[in-house]
Amino acid sequence: MTTTETGPLPDDWTLPRLGRVNTEWFTSGKLLVQTCNACGTRQHPPEEICHQCGSMDLGHTELGPNGTVHSYTVAHYAVNRALADAVPYAVVLVTLDDDPSIRIIGNVIDADPGEVHIGMPVRATWVERSDENGTVLLPQWVRA
Amino acid sequence: MEGRAVVVGVGESPYYKRGGASESEFQLACIAIRNAVADAGLTMADVDGFASYMDRNEPVRLSNALGTGDLHFTGQTFGGGGNGTAAAVALADMAVSAGYAECVVVFRSLAQGQFHRYGQAGKSRRAGGSAAYTAPYGMLSAAQICAMQTMRWMHDHGVTQDSLAEVALACFAHAQHNPRAVRYGSPLTREEYHASRWIAEPFHLYDCCPENDGAAAIVVTTAERARDCAQPGVPIVAAAQGLAHRGGGAAFTEDGFPTAHYDLVARQLWNRAGVKPADVPVAQFYENFTGPVLMAIAEMGFCEPGEINDFVANGGIQLGGRLPINTSGGNLAEAYIHGFGCVVEAVRQMRGTSTCQVEGADLSLVVAGPGFAPGSAVLFGRDS
């Protein structure tokens, strides 16, 4: 599910560079968590080799969109001039309810920073963003 | 092999607020190194090695400029920042103890007024590697990274904002005795701490290390050569560096999150030294931010995480308390020289020349930058 909400950061803010292991994560519009085809281990962020068995034969498992805020910070100081109008904004660390060992950074794009708290239930969504290098579907979060 | 290498010299440049140095970063390095070598009663021709971490002032240039002897050893540690502060001292310990070099300078020079500011981040069109998972969400600075760790740790263990304040208050209180400190003459009250602006919750302004210009250095040599030096030698009792199994996951995915990365360092250090935390009367804990200092105090074994509020309260980490920390003012209030001022101060505690001297102290601990892996620590002793 994509959303028209864009979150707290500017529309031309940094996007992920797509590479060997992260293209599915940032373009599929699904929580495709990297999974080892040899031993079944899930790992995030994706890597070029399975952390458990060393296999380089890696696929994906789609996990459900529900998650829980495990930690967060509210950034008040703009570390880059381009973020001067974005602060204060919250950054959250979400664990997936399907597999709490998977932790994902994001923003809760429909909540004010003061509403974000540890234990907050959230649900994944995707924000479509483009630049001259192409289009990504950025995983983000809304209140569940 | 530990215990054979001895610190015989310490030195620093003047410490400045960011942008305050008229000297270049390279000149600051040269000043600190010259001062440390002179303090030892040695000459530059005696120096045959350099060790550091994340420093851009290369030994080749330093050796030429300063006129060292033949170089037999150069080394820097891996890792993202101030977590290498004590590991760099360990490199010198290893080089000297194993006989590769006889007189190694360990140094760090950092002029944030002339190069990248650690509190700021560039804007790139696309972020790769592990930053692909953080930068697009506005997670960019060390303060934000440590805030994310600290927020969960405070939640798990009931740690209060006042306990974070205690670290800053200890540093500022100690800096009032140290004329070298940038914040000498600028005390901090609890009310001022709580009233200061947020940087990244749970960090206020005074939870965050400043950006400074300066350099600091020590000279490490053999016990045999130390006997002829000008100052009482300060032996390196033990050092340790550590990254726990699967402890280095990118973007907060490491096992054990939130951790300051000091459990493994602690186990190694106390085993090697043959002492326990209760034997240590004074310590310098690298403050990038106050929260990770509290995490590191617990992980080094000084108390359980759930006991940290009581441990730091009522002057517990100030001079006269159970464990005075950052007795020069530390990164927060002396100067942020990427933590190397903590090493210099730890040596001064063993010489008995600190401006906040812990009387009778016979062990002196440095814990390097917490929250980033691998962590490192070094324990100094007294000349016997």
CA quadruple A33, A38, A40, A46: dihedral positive or negative? negative
Q: Give the mean pLDDT of A70-93.
A: 97
Q: Beta partners for B76?
A: B52
How much is the pLDDT for B2? 43
pLDDT reading at A24 higher than 70: yes
What is the reported pLDDT for B1? Answer: 34
Q: Rounded to an integer, what distance in angstroms lies between the CA atom of residue B235 and that of residue B350?
A: 9
Q: What is the DSSP letter of A72?
A: E
How far is CA A85 from its chain centroid? 22
Interface touch B119/A14, C-beta < 8 Å = no
Q: What proportion of chain A, given as a percentage, has pLDDT over 90?
A: 94
- Which one of A13, A32, A79 makes the best mutation probe of the B interface by having the most chain B beta carbons within 10 Å? A79
A21 in B contact zone (CB under 8 Å):
no
Domains of chain B: 5-113+209-381 (3.40.47.10)
- B336 has catalytic annotation: yes
Strand-pairing partners, residue B110, are B214
Work out the pLDDT band at A1, boundaries 50, 70, 90: low
pLDDT in tens, A40-51: 999 999 999 999
Residue by residue, pLDDT tens for chain B (384 residues) are 345 899 999 999 999 999 999 999 999 999 999 999 999 999 999 999 999 999 999 999 999 999 999 999 999 998 778 999 999 999 999 999 999 999 999 999 999 989 888 888 888 899 999 999 999 999 999 999 999 999 999 999 999 999 999 999 999 999 999 999 999 999 999 999 999 999 999 999 999 999 999 999 999 999 999 999 999 999 999 999 998 888 887 888 888 899 999 999 999 999 999 999 999 999 999 999 999 999 999 999 999 999 999 999 999 999 999 999 999 999 999 999 999 999 999 999 999 999 999 999 999 999 999 999 999 999 999 986
> Residue A14 CA to chain centroid, in angstroms?
14
d(CA B239, CA B380): 9
Q: Measured between alpha carbons, how far is B384 from B381 in angstroms, rounded to an integer?
A: 9
> Are A13 and B136 a contacting pair at CB < 8 A?
yes
ipTM rounded to 2 decimals: 0.97
DSSP state of B145: H
- Who has greater pLDDT, A91 or B121? A91
What phi and psi values does residue B34 have, to the nearest 5 degrees?
Answer: -55, -45
- The one catalytic residue in B16, B193, B206, B336 is B336
